[in-house]
Structure 1
Amino acid sequence: MPTPIRHSIVITLLICCFNVYSQIGINTPKNSQVKDSIANYLRRASRSIEQAHLEKALENAIIAKELALQNQDKKYRASTNMVLAKLYRELGDLKKAEEQILNAIEIQNEDNNESGLACSYTIYGSIATKLQDYKTANQVLGKALDLSQKNNIENQIGPVKLNLGLLALESNQHQKAIDHFNSGLPSIETHEQHYFKAKLYSNKAKAQLALNQVEEALATNDLAMKIGKDKGYSEIRSTCFELYSLIYEKKKDYLTSLDNLKAHQKIKDSLFNINKEIIAQEAGAKLNLNENNVLIEELTEENIQQQKSLKLGRLTTILSIALITILSLLTLSLYKNNNLRARANELLQNKNTELILAKENAERASEAKVQFLSTITHELRTPLYAVTGLTHLLLEESPTPNQKEHLNSLKFSGEYLLSLINNILDLNKLEANKVEVENTSFNLKKRINDVLIALGKSAKDRNNNLHYEFDDSIPMKLKGDPLKVSQILINLIGNSIKFTQNGDIWIRVKSKQQIDNTVFLNFEIEDNGVGISEKKQQSIFENFTQGSVQINRKFGGTGLGLSIVKNLLSLMDSEIKLESKLGKGSKFLFDLKFEVFQDKSTDYVEEAKKIDYSVMIDKYVLIVEDNKINQLITRKILEKNKIKCDVADNGDIAVNKAKEDTFDLILMDIHMPGISGIEATKQIREFDTEIPIIALTAVTLDDNLDEFYDSGFNDIIPKPYKTEEFFTKLHKALVKKQATT
């Protein structure tokens, strides 16, 4: 059915309905009761407009206007015109909205009603803005503000400032719009004008997004959405979803953008939006009456009955026409909906394709990152083994004091480089969620004391005093992950030492509470060093981040320590807090919970296995290593403890020597020319299942442990290693072999 014909039918139908309604009449109360009724209907209409229930708004507005006309009340006729202007504005019929508000202004000027004029000028300003008549909008909003201030109409100042902001926003004066919104917000909040507050926040977010203030726009839009949800403002929620879509599109989060676009479209597809045109036609038809020709004479009971009978027949005809019209419009609505869904599906398919490509690129990047870390750490560990190994050998050869000082510096540099490599690996494992929390018994007080002893020299070198405060009510034995606790404290205390000179550092451990078998502890690490500016406090826990380039140059470091602390605490269901002032020091705080270890013994002693070096005398060890320097270092370390050695340059030679000779133990490198150490071990296990084979390698082991043990290795020693750990594992393997034999 063509649109003009359809509209004509609807208008005819609704005019007839309205005539029936008018002629039947409304049971109107008298005087003050009538005014109260009109006011109530207008309040309901305004509330329905705010909640986008336009059919209810129209119904209440029509009743209010009919009552106002019958009682010839100019004040409420003007008020009804104001509500109808807002209704037409929401329906998109701006010309009729302008007619209604001008009628209201004309009546209020005749009555010299300045309070009503302030409100009408505000509504007229919003309509003129939508009509892009910015000059008129600016003039009438200026009049509204003057009248509100002159008559102390406090609850009108906020809406005027809101509409001034909307005018600036339409004129692409985004910062000016934000200033108007901020100026009007206190008044709107004071008078609890929730609808205006939600509208202010959503439009302020639009202005912020236009100024590329993406995160600020997101936060402001969140405030608008919360009010929209709490108060049931459908239009506000629809606008917020549309704005979310634009924000996340700018953030390149296309999936979230699409989800919000679909949510926006869902609200727009609601029955109210589909039938908005119908409601506008209905409003025009029902309100298209001559206000000066209202029927006021009284009808006799007989006439009333005759008219009712006539109208009943007419009403039946009208309802039939209405049913046909509604079915036609529903068909048209379904057609439009199908088109919208088709476009949405096409957009979804395009976004899915983009997401698949992005996922594949991310996976390739992740694989490249893992491969890079594996390769670079192996390449770094191999020469570092030579540095630490030769330093160890030279320190045991009675160097002069001057030489010993240089060798200790060299040892420190090697350990620092190894710490850097381990930090990078730890961070990578934490980000990949490959770190697990252990649960073993330990003495927390002793563990922290060991950390302080290890960091004591660094503190002394910078002339710092360490103060240790430990709550005596904390149980001596706890269950948890002592290694991660040590790692967190080493990073935090080491950080305080690094950024404090000639100062004090406090380490405090306090018991917050104990519930059953669980104790909750609070940790504080405080210093009076250089401190951290407020601007940098949010980013200081990010990877490779320090306070500034100058700090990096002055104090050194990689900026990984605090990032590792944050990730470790997150793994242990906690978070790091920071209190700091530039130039006055910093305080780091976090909470941890532990189980109380139940043990009948009263003294806790960490037993360390002692190495019996006599077991290793004259043992015959095969060193499989392709690097000549590493061969030399490993051989020297073993021979200093009276162990006999033979060397194989690659895996093939190692297999042949294992066949031809009898060794007590084999130290096997992994990456070598020819066959790898893993393949060589598999071949040796085919003819000798008893000989201990220990992997001595610079390979990153975390993801390969099962492969090593499945291939036949008895144990693994990562390079570079501490000599105590090295001989502990050799001793364990040789003792086990001897016991088996």
Structure 2
Amino acid sequence: MSKFLIHFLLLVLCILPTSIVAQEVDLATQKITNKKIDSLLTVAALAIENNDYTTSAQLMTRARDLAKETNNKGRLGLASSALSRLYLLTGNVEKAREENDLAIKIQLEPNSSKESLGQNYITAAKIELQERNYSEASKYLEKAEKILKNISRPELLAKVYLSQGAIASTKNNTQKAEELFDLAISQANNAGNKFLIAKSNIQKAEVLLLQKKIKEASAAINNAQEISSSENYPNLLSESYRISSRIAEEQNDIPKAYEHIMLYNDYTEKNRKNKETGIVVDFVNENKEFNAQLKKDIESERVRTKKANTFTTVLSIAMVTVLSLLILSLYKNNNLRTKANELLQAKNTELIVAKDNAEKASMVKAQFLSTITHELRTPMYAVTGLTHLLLSENPTEEQKKHLDSLKFSGEYLLSLINNILDLNKLEANKVEVEQTAFNLKKRIEDVLFALGKSAKDKGNKLNFEFDPDIPEEVLGDPLMISQILINLVGNAVKFTRDGQVDIRVQKIKQTESEAHLHFEIEDTGEGISKKKQKNIFQNFTQGSVAINRKFGGTGLGLSIVKNLLDLLGSKVELESTLGKGSKFSFNIKYNLTKQTGEEANPHNIIYDIDYVALENRKILVVEDNKINQMITRKILEKNKMVCDVADNGEIAVEKARSQDFDLILMDIHMPGISGIEATEQIRLFDKEIPILALTAVTIDENIDEFHEAGFNDIIPKPYKVEEFFQKIHNGLKQAKVFN
């Protein structure tokens, strides 16, 4: 037994120096690896500050992979957390969720950083907010608040309250939202974070405006504007001008409202010009904060690692046997790591192939959308233009009624085209809700009149019940309610034959400043099964393949309805029995206005046009489509302007060289040389003449290319006639054709 004990002690004595040396070598290697990871993350932070998101993502990925190779969970959690915030910043929600879930999993382990866990919960909440999963976002924010209240990082707590306030505002709980934004401002002040102070004040001003607390809203927005201007936060300053314009409008200060909405448009235009790299620009002001946050995280992880290493060194002397076993474990881990690296390389190869395929698909999609946008907008220009001309030619009352309906349907169809082509914009909650005074009953009657023929062809009867106690005029977005009703009523008519469709609008309650209304659309048609009701509001979804073949349609209507009602703070309810019919219902809150007469449409102030100054001005219209030529020419000549036409770019260049024109309206897509090439050639010999792009291409699509070619402005087709003449008036005035 004693011999065995001696052998055991000799073994321990032999192992002890080896273990200590091995541990020191391992710690030294770990320090070198940690410094390399920290260096990669620090350089990544600087790349973010310089808006180089691609380089930053590559550096963070290398840091994460290095941490994974060395099984360094602290650094792995740090790198994954940073990557998640970067992906969220650049709009890659799926990648952001994947990296953040990994970071949370690591931070939930014992002895991990609670501060980092709190940050990860904030990121998780932001991801859920991107998907409008407000309930899940609230749960993550509650967890983050509980953790961060005990940690001296007030800027993180400010972000929690800012997100909670945004959720409360979305649910129309403006009082709660105001309280939360006050808490965010308080924490941002404690942190000395001026960006968060300004951002919180802007959101506070918006909820104060909704509560009609005009004086307090004005104070909050002035504070935000002062900070944003002095600290150079252009995006926040732009947003503050949008809010301050609405405040000035509430105060009947129309000149100030106009001035600030123009400033907002100027900033918006400047921001569009920055979209050269395809990077999300909306969060560019947060780059410096991202940098500072990441540096703090790196330093915190260094301190935590240092403490852990010190503790490990003390324990290592007393646990030589354990360390010996760890040496064997490390050997096995190296083998596993080698195999893992081989698998990772194979996966990386697959990911590169998938990435290339995705980029090609994205390019094809972009080309398709560009082409289909032009092809759809071009005939829509003919519809809206001819309708305008016919309305100006003294039609009979019966003809005027039909033309008004045609005009309404054209406007709706254009809006529907825009929503289908850019459904991501609608789902990302980037569509702005207008606040315009309009006659709700008349708006609904226009929808029913437009759908009347379809209903009659199917043998259906449309019944309209409108509560007489509802105010004649409300303040809201007339186009949105038209889109919602034309989809719901249109669906009811489509899926009903020889039946009836009831449209009911009832008042729930009314105060001095707002009215709460309940809408119902009920039919006696096909009905929807319980199983299909669960996903009927998803994109491209219909009741069944048989229904799709029988009735047609894209399956986008109810998805658009759901998204529009989300924007209005409402939710659509469905009651349906298969074979007996369906009932869709929802509630909308409208503000009430006391404006009358000319005050009912304050936006008319935008169209400040001197039509007399436009008379006898010579305009060259460059357009290959004969119908569009005729429409544009007649609209100009009805306003006593002299019009000449060029069928293509070559003719336009020669006419501009040999004749004198006051202004040129140039189409973009034409046979031969394009409108852009023609403009570039004209600019070689005439740099002064105003040239406006009159095109079906969307404004955001190629705006930089247009301005580089020499265009003065862009008029997207189809357009409102007032906007058309406003652009012409501005172009002539800027060229000093008249004062």
Relative to the length of structure 2, the TM-score reads 0.46
TM-score by length of 1: 0.46
* Higher Rg: 1
